[in-house]
Amino acid sequence: MLPAGRHVRQVLIEDGVLSAAGKGTLFIECSTIDVATARAQHQAAEQAGMEMVDAPVSGGTAGAAAATLTFMMGGTDSAFARAQPICEKMGKAVIHAGGAGNGQAAKICNNMILGVTMIGVCEALVLAETLGLDHQKLYDISSKSSGSCWSLNTYCPVPGPVPASPANNDYKPGFAAEMMLKDLKLAQQAAQAGDTATPMGAAAAALYGLFVNGGGGSTDFSGIIRMIRGN
Amino acid sequence: MLPAGRHVRQVLIEDGVLSAAGKGTLFIECSTIDVATARAQHQAAEQAGMEMVDAPVSGGTAGAAAATLTFMMGGTDSAFARAQPICEKMGKAVIHAGGAGNGQAAKICNNMILGVTMIGVCEALVLAETLGLDHQKLYDISSKSSGSCWSLNTYCPVPGPVPASPANNDYKPGFAAEMMLKDLKLAQQAAQAGDTATPMGAAAAALYGLFVNGGGGSTDFSGIIRMIRGN
Amino acid sequence: MLPAGRHVRQVLIEDGVLSAAGKGTLFIECSTIDVATARAQHQAAEQAGMEMVDAPVSGGTAGAAAATLTFMMGGTDSAFARAQPICEKMGKAVIHAGGAGNGQAAKICNNMILGVTMIGVCEALVLAETLGLDHQKLYDISSKSSGSCWSLNTYCPVPGPVPASPANNDYKPGFAAEMMLKDLKLAQQAAQAGDTATPMGAAAAALYGLFVNGGGGSTDFSGIIRMIRGN
Amino acid sequence: MLPAGRHVRQVLIEDGVLSAAGKGTLFIECSTIDVATARAQHQAAEQAGMEMVDAPVSGGTAGAAAATLTFMMGGTDSAFARAQPICEKMGKAVIHAGGAGNGQAAKICNNMILGVTMIGVCEALVLAETLGLDHQKLYDISSKSSGSCWSLNTYCPVPGPVPASPANNDYKPGFAAEMMLKDLKLAQQAAQAGDTATPMGAAAAALYGLFVNGGGGSTDFSGIIRMIRGN
């Protein structure tokens, strides 16, 4: 797992891992990187007579330690069939999202939803404070109705309703804000390359950018509630 | 149920319903209106020796017909205790959200989350199209992971994954976009009155405003995916 | 000049200034308040046989001291004709914007442009820093081309290009961020009442809300560049 | 002038223009492209013993025909000194913005301001309609006060106040919306690469994306007022 597309390209192509590997080798590339680079690597692997899956994960270091990661895989049926039993040893779910690059596509689409809903939930909880509505009451109502979402139900960004959420641990990650920002920027990059307009995704990327540039990068991503609240 | 705070005030105060009612009357006010007006009515009722709950609902006309509405109630314990058994005849859930006006507060906080997540989900599905990722694949992955939310899981804004969702019925409501816009504007009004900044809620209100002004008011609120996609 | 519509209504109506004044009195109401309240006051004055102009100003305390304010007036031709020579003693420009409330309308439309462009200019200057482009160079180019605007040309939010701008005085106002926020909220209130969608105006209001809630309220409104930059 | 960085790289590097040219050749590269690619080309030219300026223009086809373009140049003092007299034959202004790539940097910073202010001006004019304030009145006031900007003063997006503006010619470009979107996306790309948060620039890019995807690409960029207004 490497930080960005350029590092993966460096290792695979320029540093020679691909050319040094034997024919038929299966590459399981678990970095979260941009879709275009992932697809270019698939092509390079295929031309070299090898197989590849792009297989970014969700679940964080805790999920890795507990072998409960989710793998989102892009690649041929054949490559997926080979990679699946290996990754199942580290994960609770290994999902075939389609052809080359679709693991990355699934991850950034999912995390764009996540970033948008997290800020929306933070805003609703802060508005509730303003209106004199208890966090727990809003939690009880929304987690069971149309406001239900993972960001609220299982990762609630205020202390109390979900004891295990980072809000109860002074917003120690968990999933750091700078990692969320990275994923939101990948989504924006893909949207712009594909002539897709994503106004809420763009707003979420900008708000996490303000939060990270203001010093919140290593805070859990739910800690953006402090910026929304003003403290 | 009346459209806005001014209508409720007109009927209760100016048209004389409150002054004509007997002491101890319980008012169950089910309109979705602004929090400030709701609280002023509670005060007027209390001064007249009566009880009131503000009790906006979610579930739409279908929920009303099937007696599966959710009531979010604000008012004293005593008023709630009287109103609860009555509303349970029309609803599957009757929740006490706190004191006067908190029913309205809960509803607008919840629906602000809903409006924000719906647009986020629409953007992710359109981005998936651009990237060659099937709607069903993204649904399968996100509905079970951190992108999970009511807007995706049970009201999916593209045809297919959730057969009962309005997307399968040419976006006939359901919950009309103009009603979502009304609730988002109430949330903005409350946020501004309370010096709360809600950037995503504001963006959602603006985007639903563009959609409604462009002719989409009577479309289901999930139909905003057409504006996001450009057709 | 009073802070908000409710104070003006209090003084004029409830405290009895209007009823105590003689027939034909001219009211020059210079507060910046919401359009709806301003129009209601015109109506009350007219019914009492008096004349009124709503006449909010721009130019700040410095403009008032130097008698260089700009008055934007709403009211009848007759009321404007009476008010104009009086206000010219305090202002360099007295402009008739149309009927009752149009002074307020002009001010909030103008200041919505101002708030939007100021943040846009701040972002461009911070992006220039990132790209290694001197502030002065961008100033020289944009102030003479299509990026030309008052926020850049005469109120530049970084030290240097415009020596008199608050950026050269540690962002002491000038025009405080909390006053800009007030005007942006009035614009949002008017937009929502009129079913108008103003996505950039809404974003500007939300960003100034974050800035003010984060402690920047008494800073000059150009100081929002610090939040954009992250320090 | 080529559409994007990849085309310029193709022609200069891969198609061999750079290797075929004689030592000391001066390249005047007038495409509007991303800053990173522009800087890579400067480096390639320098290594080949040649000089280069990146020199994007503003002024459109009309400016080219009338020789009134503005050139924003990045490069060494020496390269600028050679390029300046040549470009002055096609332009009214040739400005040295700094080292390699700074011509591109200046253009995207400037055009980000332009895109943001244009939408802000459109919103203010639509809000004025809602409030019963004449376009001409708002123009007269704001073009001379703190709302003054190029988008309003010289390119007013409603018919009337500025007879030569595209609004008076059914929004025929002028400067097409798809070109504005291209520049706003270049700005977003640079901002993301540089870890800069530009919330208003991001919102402008998203709104022009919605406008272009909705069919407005070949309309003048001031025509986005129709989307803001809802018709």
Q: Hey, how many other C-beta atoms are within 10 angstroms of the C-beta on D229? A: 19
- Give the pLDDT score at C8: 95
Nearest-angstrom CA–CA distance, A112 and D53? 39
Give C15-24 pLDDT, tens digit per residue.
Answer: 999 999 999 9
Nearest-angstrom CA–CA distance, A21 and A16? 9
Residue A40 has pLDDT above 90, yes or no: yes
Question: Closest Cα partner for A34 from A113, A108, A100?
Answer: A108
B122 and B207: one domain?
yes
Mapping DSSP to helix (H, G, I), strand (E, B) and coil, where does residue B94 land? strand
Number of A/B CB contacts below 8 angstroms equals: 254
Considering chain A, what is the average pLDDT of its residues? 96
Task: Give the pLDDT band of residue A138 (cuts 50, 70, 90).
Answer: very high
CATH code where residue A17 lies: 3.40.50.720
Walking along chain B (231 residues) 10 residues at a time, the average pLDDT comes out as: 94 93 95 96 95 93 89 98 97 96 98 98 98 98 95 97 97 96 98 97 98 98 98 81
**Shortest alpha-carbon distance between residue A174 and chain B (Å):** 13
Q: Which of D99, D128, D156 represents a domain boundary (last residue)?
A: D99
D72 and D175: one domain?
no
D215/B228 CB distance under 8 A = no
Q: How many domains does chain D have?
A: 2
Nearest-angstrom CA–CA distance, B120 and B142? 12
- Give the pLDDT score at D46: 95
| CA C102 to chain CA mean position, Å | 14
- Give the pLDDT score at C62: 82
Task: Give the pLDDT band of residue D59 (cuts 50, 70, 90).
Answer: confident
A217 and A115: one domain?
yes
B222 and B120: one domain?
yes
Torsion of CA D145, D149, D150, D152, to 10 degrees: -70
Give D86-112 pLDDT, tens digit per residue.
Answer: 999 999 999 999 999 999 999 999 999
A107 is catalytic: yes
- Give the pLDDT score at B60: 80
- Give the pLDDT score at D84: 97
B39, B116, B129, B154, best to mutate vs chain A, most A CBs in 10 Å: B116
In A, which residues are within 8 Å of B111 by CB distance?
146-147
State mean pLDDT over D33-58: 96
B112, B179, B189, B192, best to mutate vs chain C, most C CBs in 10 Å: B192
State mean pLDDT over C26-32: 97
A179 and A112: one domain?
yes
> Which residue does chain A place closest to D204, by CA atoms?
A199
Domain that holds residue B174: 106-229
- Give the pLDDT score at D99: 97
> Which residue does chain D place closest to C130, by CA atoms?
D194
Residue D98's region, left for phi above 0, alpha for psi from -120 to 50, else beta, is left
Nearest-angstrom CA–CA distance, B162 and A16? 46
- Give the pLDDT score at C48: 94
- Give the pLDDT score at A105: 98
B72 and B185: one domain?
no
A216 and A147: one domain?
yes
D215/B230 CB distance under 8 A = yes
Considering chain D, what is the average pLDDT of its residues? 96
Q: Could you say which of A92, A107, A137, A144 is catalytic?
A: A107
Q: Which of B44, B65, B100 represents a domain boundary (last residue)?
A: B100
A174 and A75: one domain?
no
Nearest-angstrom CA–CA distance, D47 and A95? 48
Considering chain B, what is the average pLDDT of its residues? 96
Residue A30 has pLDDT above 90, yes or no: yes
In C, which residues are within 8 Å of A210 by CB distance?
210, 227-228, 230
A85 and A168: one domain?
no
Residues in chain C whose beta carbon is closer than 8 A to a beta carbon of chain B?
185, 188-189, 192, 195-199, 202-203, 205-207, 209-210, 212-213
In D, which residues are within 8 Å of C151 by CB distance?
146, 149
Task: Give the pLDDT band of residue A62 (cuts 50, 70, 90).
Answer: confident
Question: Closest Cα partner for C131 from B185, A227, B7, D192?
Answer: D192
- Give the pLDDT score at D62: 82
- Give the pLDDT score at D61: 79
Question: Closest Cα partner for C187 from C176, C199, C169, C175?
Answer: C199
Task: Give the pLDDT band of residue C60 (cuts 50, 70, 90).
Answer: confident
- Give the pLDDT score at D231: 81
Check: CB of residue D230 under 8 Å from CB of residue B215.
yes
- Give the pLDDT score at B63: 87
Q: Name the burial class of residue D76, with classes exposed (0-12), middle (13-18) and buried (19+) by CB atoms within 10 angstroms of its CB.
A: middle
CATH code where residue B154 lies: 1.10.1040.10
Q: Could you say which of B23, B89, B92, B107 is catalytic?
A: B107
Nearest-angstrom CA–CA distance, D35 and D98? 13
In C, which residues are within 8 Å of D191 by CB distance?
123, 127, 130
C136 and C119: one domain?
yes
D111 and D223: one domain?
yes
**Shortest alpha-carbon distance between residue D50 and chain B (Å):** 40
Residue C25 has pLDDT above 90, yes or no: yes
**Shortest alpha-carbon distance between residue B138 and chain D (Å):** 23
Residue C231 has pLDDT above 90, yes or no: no
D124/C114 CB distance under 8 A = no
Give D210-228 pLDDT, tens digit per residue.
Answer: 999 999 999 999 999 999 9
Residue C59 has pLDDT above 90, yes or no: no
In B, which residues are within 8 Å of D231 by CB distance?
213-214
- Give the pLDDT score at C170: 98
**Shortest alpha-carbon distance between residue A231 and chain C (Å):** 6
Q: Which of D99, D116, D147 represents a domain boundary (last residue)?
A: D99
In D, which residues are within 8 Å of A187 by CB distance?
none
B170 and B217: one domain?
yes
A209/D188 CB distance under 8 A = no
Task: Give the pLDDT band of residue C104 (cuts 50, 70, 90).
Answer: very high
Give A158-192 pLDDT, tens digit per residue.
Answer: 999 999 999 999 999 999 999 999 999 999 999 99
State mean pLDDT over D29-49: 96
- Give the pLDDT score at C63: 87
Q: Could you say which of C23, C92, C107, C144 is catalytic?
A: C107
Nearest-angstrom CA–CA distance, B30 and B27? 9
**Shortest alpha-carbon distance between residue C42 and chain B (Å):** 21
In C, which residues are within 8 Å of A215 by CB distance?
230
Q: Write the residue in A199, A203, A214 that is nearest to C230 by C-beta.
A: A214
D107, D138, D153, D200, best to mutate vs chain C, most C CBs in 10 Å: D200
Q: Could you say which of D107, D137, D144, D185 is catalytic?
A: D107
Q: Hey, how many other C-beta atoms are within 10 angstroms of the C-beta on D47? A: 9
Q: ipTM of the assembly?
A: 0.96
Considering chain C, what is the average pLDDT of its residues? 96
C210/A230 CB distance under 8 A = yes
Q: CB under 8 Å to A211, separation ≥6 — which residues?
A: A177, A181, A217, A219, A223, A224, A227
A117/B35 CB distance under 8 A = no
In C, which residues are within 8 Å of A229 by CB distance?
213
State mean pLDDT over D56-84: 93
B147/A109 CB distance under 8 A = yes
Nearest-angstrom CA–CA distance, A124 and A162? 16
